[in-house]
């Protein structure tokens, strides 16, 4: 009797898992619940779509016949509940699908504002094709000229860039003292801020929103907790994300802080796996999330669901994308603070505004962050896997030496 697999989510993790399962098991049944009315699309390219540089069709990461060609049953509906005791999934339509193995790969969704005016027309989050459609449609309909972006992380900077490319004057309201404080070090953040200021962006640091004000029922301004009033025909909210798992309430699967999984992507519930932004790998270091990490976790989950015996090491965190007209990459424990056995080593890079920093633990490379030279992500990921070491006397490292050691195929040391 053929096995029956259900995958909730049609993003990077879900698709990679489906392909991995089908590669190992040609005769099994695979059902995918896609909570969006679009086929699998390349979420990191949403910025190019919103700016009008590519069409919606160019976002689609697989051909429209992808699922059918692999014998995958793709359902364009959301999941209402999961019943692990009965090994069943119920969709919004009421249809119930049984499973032998289940993967939860629903990703994460933006946190919304919690202040007066948060639900006014003109206040938007940014995460999907539908978000982009609504934002650009509102700007055109209302002839918006001024925008406020709340939040100074990667998505906040990306949203600000999108608004600026559409001709809007942008002010960023950031709770912390600088941009990108959970991802980049201060020097990397300064490079991005200088570029944005040169293009006309302004910043309000150390502030939060107290209110979104309106005029004729639409967003007109924001008021900070310090009393500053900033004109805004549209407000973009990028203050973080949380796992998408409300449908798991009552299932016995804890999801609010991410579903805990082991290195095989298994949850504590028999037959249930999780991968991507919704998952938290036990014992893993570094930031969760990211397209590449989700794909790798999804592929591992699918392999293990179909009976494969996988390496017990967690997938090395890897995220390469763009931030305000520059490429960046984050690997492993890139943000670990310098304390105890942790220290940082600067990479010498040749390009203008290129910047790189390696994270070491007891001399071994465990992560890195790069601006400009994002292709280094793969080399550093291999250095982490190969347990490359850097001598205590080293305070800088050139890119050529790093690549040589990272790709040597065996544990290496530099003294």
Please give the class, per CATH, of domain 112-239.
Answer: alpha beta
pLDDT at 404 (0 to 100): 85
In the CATH hierarchy, which fold is given to the domain comprising 325-414?
A: Enolase-like; domain 1 (3.30.390)
pLDDT at 409 (0 to 100): 55
The string over 341-368, giving b where at least 16 C-beta atoms fall within 10 Å of a residue's C-beta and e elsewhere, is eebbbebebeeeebbbbbbbbebbbbbb
CA distance 108 to 279: 10
pLDDT at 412 (0 to 100): 39
- Delimit the domains of the chain by residue range: 4-109+242-305, 112-239, 325-414
Contacts of 137 (CB under 8 A, 6+ apart): none
Does the pTM surpass 0.85? The reply is yes
pLDDT at 311 (0 to 100): 62
Give the DSSP letter string of 212-247: EEEETTEEEEEEETT--EEE-SEEEE-S-EEE--GG
Please give the class, per CATH, of domain 4-109+242-305.
Answer: alpha beta
CA distance 221 to 202: 15
pLDDT at 19 (0 to 100): 97
Residue 218, token pair as written in the block: 């639409």
Residues composing the chain: 415
CA distance 332 to 381: 7
pLDDT at 286 (0 to 100): 46
**Residue indicated by tokens 């006309």:** 200
* 112-239 against 325-414: fold identical: no
pLDDT at 312 (0 to 100): 60
Cα Rg of the chain (Å, integer): 22
CA distance 213 to 151: 18
pLDDT at 131 (0 to 100): 97
Strand partners, 228: none
> In this structure, are residues 210 and 115 in contact, taking their beta carbons and an 8 Å threshold?
yes
CA distance 80 to 89: 8
- What's the average pLDDT block by block, 10 residues per block, for the chain (415 residues)? 93 97 96 94 95 95 92 96 98 97 96 97 97 98 98 96 98 97 90 97 98 97 98 97 95 93 94 96 63 92 89 76 91 91 90 89 93 83 89 86 76 36
Using DSSP's 3-state secondary structure scheme, residue 403 falls into helix
């Amino acid at each position: 009797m053929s096995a029956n697999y259900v995958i909730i989510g049609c993003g990077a993790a879900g698709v990679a898992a489906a392909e991995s399962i089908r590669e190992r098991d040609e005769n099994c049944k695979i059902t995918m619940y896609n909570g969006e009315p679009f086929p699998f699309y390349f979420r990191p390219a949403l910025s190019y779509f919103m700016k009008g540089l590519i069409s919606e069709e160019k976002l689609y990461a697989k051909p429209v016949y992808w699922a059918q060609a692999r014998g995958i049953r793709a359902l364009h509906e959301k999941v209402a509940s999961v019943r692990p005791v009965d090994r069943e999934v119920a969709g919004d339509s009421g249809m119930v699908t049984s499973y032998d193995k289940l993967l939860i790969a629903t990703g994460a969704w933006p946190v919304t504002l919690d202040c007066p005016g948060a639900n006014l027309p003109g206040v938007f989050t940014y995460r999907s094709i539908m978000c982009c459609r609504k934002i650009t449609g509102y700007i055109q309909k209302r002839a918006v000229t001024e925008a406020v972006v709340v939040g100074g992380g990667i998505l906040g900077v990306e949203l600000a860039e999108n608004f600026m490319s559409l001709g809007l004057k942008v002010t960023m309201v950031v709770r912390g003292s600088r941009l990108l404080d959970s991802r980049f070090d201060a020097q990397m953040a300064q490079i991005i801020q200088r570029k944005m200021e040169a293009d006309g962006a302004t910043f309000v640091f150390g502030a939060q929103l107290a209110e979104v004000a309106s005029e004729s029922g639409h967003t007109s301004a924001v008021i900070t907790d310090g009393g500053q009033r900033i004109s805004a025909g549209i407000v973009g909210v990028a203050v973080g994300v949380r796992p998408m798992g409300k449908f798991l309430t009552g299932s016995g699967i804890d999801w609010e802080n991410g579903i805990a999984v082991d290195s095989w992507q298994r949850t504590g519930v028999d037959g249930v796996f999780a991968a991507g932004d919704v998952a938290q790998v036990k014992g893993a270091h570094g930031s969760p999330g990211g397209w590449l990490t989700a794909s790798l976790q999804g592929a591992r989950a699918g392999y293990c669901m179909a009976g494969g015996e996988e390496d017990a090491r967690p997938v090395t965190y890897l995220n390469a994308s763009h931030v305000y007209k520059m490429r960046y990459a984050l690997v492993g424990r890139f943000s670990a603070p310098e304390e105890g056995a942790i220290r940082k080593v600067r990479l010498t890079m040749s390009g203008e505004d290129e910047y790189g920093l390696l994270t070491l633990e007891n001399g071994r490379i465990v992560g890195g962050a790069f601006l400009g030279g994002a292709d280094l992500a793969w080399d550093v990921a291999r250095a982490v896997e190969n347990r490359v070491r850097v001598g205590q006397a080293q305070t800088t490292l050139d890119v050529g030496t790093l690549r040589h050691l990272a790709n040597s195929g065996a544990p290496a040391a530099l003294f």
